[in-house]
Amino acid sequence: MRWMKVSAACVLVFTAAVLAVQPPADDRYAAAVWHCQSIANNRTPDDASTGRSARDLRLDYGNTITLTAAGTGAFGGRSLDFGNDGTRFAKAASSWPGQAGDEFRLDGWFYFYSTGLPSVTGAATMYVFYISDSGASGVIVEMFVHTNDHLRFGIYDSGGTKRVASLALRDPAAGIDLTDKWVHVIASSSNTPGQQGARLRIADGQNEYENFAAGTNGDMRMASRTIYVGHMDGKTGNSPRRGFRGRMDELKLSIRADEPDYAYGPNPAYGQVLPAKSDQILSWRKGVGTITHTVRMGTHSTIANNPIVGDGVTEDRVTVQTLAGKTYYWQVNTHNASGTSEGDVWRFSTESGRAYGPSPSHNATDVTYPVDTLTLRWTGAEGVESFKVYFGTTETPEYLGATLSTSMVTPALSPYTRYYWRVDSITPNGTVTGDLWTFRTRVLAFPGADGFGRWARGGRGGSVYHVTHLNDSGPGSFRDAVSQPNRYVVFDVGGVIQIQGRVIMSRNLTIAGQTAPGDGVVIYGNGASYSGANDSITRFMRYRMGRGGDSGVDGVAVANGTNMIWDHCSASWGRDETFSISSSGPGVNEGNFTIQDSLIALGLHSHSCGSLIEWNNTSILRSVYIDNHTRNPKVKGVNEFINNVIYNWRVAGYILGDTSGDSSANIIQNYFVNGPSTSSSAFSRANANFRLYAANNYQDSNRDGVLNGGLIPISAYGPVTWV
């Protein structure tokens, strides 16, 4: 198993859709449980998405679950507060129906109290969700927080085998803390061939994490069982209590028993409020055996009184015209070989003048500083006469000004600052208050920084340390310079610094090798460790390990940490890998690393490896691998490998995973040049667990001294999974 962070910086789309970080409008239920089924023409009887009543949650314990005040829910509305004593839970008003399902999905917003985690309370577990009626032997589904503060989602199949997906809620070493804030959690299980297993996804508005546990032993175990929210079978006698400690909002549960022959899955969802614009796209999921559709839509609540807006429609969508401030009803009737399957009646509304489509987008975290000012942009609804703009660093932004246009320039911005803004629309009927939008400014590590590690802070804001001599230790030495955090290291001398022991880098360092006079600086000896050197920036440094280094040790190594970038550096003569970003858990860590415009070369002895990349979110850009027998690089995790040159490998060039774990990569515009030692293809050891996007990679294999390689064919990558 693994978990991974999904980053927007990568071309590759790692999941089918990124989890929503901005919840829908707060006119929906605080909590609901429902299922979808197709039995005896009585379809979706409890499906809230069609407007029918959601199945209520009934409290089944003396301690009340309170409904919070408006403004404290995931969407600014209300939410369910389970408190922090572990005694409160809810139970569905009726049992889960006895049926075999091929898809299960739990979707909700959760606020995990940091003081309620098992590592703090001492409880063996903290249960979030549970379906069973006979203890552990009858478990169907369970979600709980384990003693290591990992959220676990477990599914039992009909063979009695449990498959469990797991994600960390809090892991200080990895910089993860998903407590004391609203996070979106989706737990799902599928029996679709090739996709069987349990999947857990969490998004906090900035990052998304995912873990998948495969399973192949048949359908999910199902029977008529009781659904508990916030506890296990309602058992509250444990001490400390194992009930949920936190808040929940918009809790939704569904199971799909089979594919219907009618249209379903409306978008917009039932009851959704859309921005007030004239063109709207209505879409749906096609039923089995669909030939064409007939679509009605209008403002009359009796669907037959509304006009047909699409007939003979073969696609799964139509574009319609709408007006601001209206409620529309629509229906999709499906024509198939058996006749016509009448669809459910759905409805949506349009806002009456509210601004939408903000730029920067809501919750943007990549607004790059320095910028003297920023132009805020939005889309106005029809009929709006003017706008009032509010802007500031609090959730009650100050009035900035009025405008007839849909843009306004901000005052000067500051780095690492969260800003809030709102656009109110002035209409003939009054003022329509806009949504509160927010973005955060960030600073590139340096101009030209790229890839996942581009936001490393380095020693910015810390003290300047001058390296004044070439000795291995003592005040003014390179070793002393990097031994403490929050430093900007500059060089008053150039030359070779010969080290005996390994150099251990501290966190929040900027190592400015370009400041050294003459030909710069070389660190020669037992190598350098960046393990735990979070937010480090290293530029224009040369690391040479050599035969005097410890056997089996990397020249430059990272075993843990996050946010690091190396620029215009070189590493050579490593005795294991020459430059590695590896860990004990391949592909399960989120790192945010960049190696750019650098050289990794001349690994020593028979091992002679370039790089082992096992952390997620690692970028290798515009760099050169030369004269390494193998691992140029070997990747397990999430990697982007763009505009690099690989020369004279022997055993293997780029190794595509070579593991049973999942890996993902973008491999784009690289050049592989065979040298005198090359005896293998550019790519090797791939399997179906390696998800790949590749384009415009070339190999020059004729050794004629002229760069005249050809495009690497798809077949040469091996049995990867293409995306």
Contacts of 462 (CB under 8 A, 6+ apart): 485, 486, 487, 488, 508
Residues in the chain: 723
Q: Phi and psi of 715, rounded to 5°?
A: -65, -25
Q: What does the angle CA 402 – CA 387 – CA 422 come to, to the nearest 5 degrees? A: 95
Verify whether residue 631 is a known catalytic residue. Answer: yes
Q: Is 647 helix (H, G, I), strand (E, B) or coil?
A: strand
- Contact criterion met (CB below 8 Å) for 191 and 103: yes
Kindly state the DSSP code that residue 119 receives in the 8-state scheme: H
Helices (H), ranges, 27-67: none
Q: Is 459 helix (H, G, I), strand (E, B) or coil?
A: coil
Assign 3-class secondary structure to 528-542: EECCCCCCEEEECCE
- Residue 144, burial from CB neighbour count under 10 angstroms (0-12, 13-18, 19+): buried
- Contact criterion met (CB below 8 Å) for 664 and 587: no
- Contact criterion met (CB below 8 Å) for 109 and 74: yes
Q: What does the angle CA 653 – CA 654 – CA 656 come to, to the nearest 5 degrees? A: 135
Q: Which of 536, 388, 539 is nearest to 462 (CA)?
A: 536
Kindly state the DSSP code that residue 134 receives in the 8-state scheme: B
DSSP 57-73: EEE-SSS--EEPPTT-S
Q: Which of 355, 419, 409, 410 is nearest to 387 (CA)?
A: 355
Residue where the block lists tokens 């929906």: 28
- Dihedral sign computed on CA atoms, order 583, 587, 592, 596: positive
Q: Is 245 helix (H, G, I), strand (E, B) or coil?
A: coil
Structure token digits, residue 698: 């070339």
- Contact criterion met (CB below 8 Å) for 654 and 641: yes
A 10 A CB-CB count for 60 gives: 16
Q: Is 416 helix (H, G, I), strand (E, B) or coil?
A: coil
**Max Cα–Cα distance, the chain, nearest Å:** 88
Q: Which of 570, 633, 632 is nearest to 599 (CA)?
A: 570
Q: Which of 400, 444, 439, 442 is nearest to 418 (CA)?
A: 439
Q: Which of 454, 631, 691, 703 is catalytic?
A: 631
- Residue 292, burial from CB neighbour count under 10 angstroms (0-12, 13-18, 19+): middle
**Cα separation of 316 and 293, whole Å?**
8
Structure token digits, residue 586: 């391949």
Beta bridge partners of 328: 348
Measured in whole angstroms, the distance separating CA 171 from the mean position of its chain's CA atoms is: 16
**Cα separation of 222 and 99, whole Å?**
6
Q: Is 120 helix (H, G, I), strand (E, B) or coil?
A: helix
Q: What's the start-to-end Cα distance of the chain, in Å?
A: 20
- Contact criterion met (CB below 8 Å) for 227 and 96: yes
Q: Which of 23, 120, 9 is nearest to 75 (CA)?
A: 23
Catalytic residues: 631
